Amino acid sequence: MIVEYVRYAIPAERREAFEAGYARAQSALDASPHCLAWDLARCVEDPTQYVLRIEWDSAEGHLQGFRRSAEFRDFLAGVRPFVGDIVEMRHYEPTPVAGRTRAAAGAP
């Protein structure tokens, strides 16, 4: 698995359109056999900053599979107006350092 992080700087007046674009585009992620999970987060301290996190089956699955698919064309149709707002886009390999607290798991 590989994790893609995309950082955006979205002006306040475009925030609603940006989130709506990703709400539409997520159906293309859901349809891709290479996409495992995704989430879009907005910064609390600076609401113009967003991070998109996408889990892919592999870098090849993302770059060769998804990006050459009809799903990618559908995805891009929803987010194309915001491509110029990308601050950083990188792929990361997870490490064994991970966990989930008992509180997050709902344990008393």
What pLDDT score was predicted for residue 103? 83
Cα maximum dimension of the chain: 47
Which domains does the chain carry? 2-92 (3.30.70.100)
Give the integer Cα–Cα distance in Å for 26 and 40.
Answer: 10
**Pairing of β 2-9 and β 49-56:** antiparallel
Q: Name the residue among 21, 15, 17 with its Cα closest to residue 46.
A: 15
What mean pLDDT is predicted for residues 5-29? 97
The vertex-6 CA angle with 5 and 12, nearest 5°, equals 135
What pLDDT score was predicted for residue 102? 81
Q: Answer yes or no: is pLDDT of 104 > 80.
A: no
Give the integer Cα–Cα distance in Å for 70 and 53.
Answer: 21
Give the integer Cα–Cα distance in Å for 49 and 68.
Answer: 29
Q: Give residue-wise pLDDT tens across range 49-89.
A: 999 999 999 999 999 999 999 999 999 999 999 999 999 99
Give percent above pLDDT 90 in the chain: 92
What does each C-alpha distance from 87 to 67, 73, 83, 90, 103 come to in angstroms?
A: 20, 22, 9, 10, 33
| pLDDT-derived band at 106, boundaries 50, 70, 90 | confident
Give the integer Cα–Cα distance in Å for 80 and 28.
Answer: 14
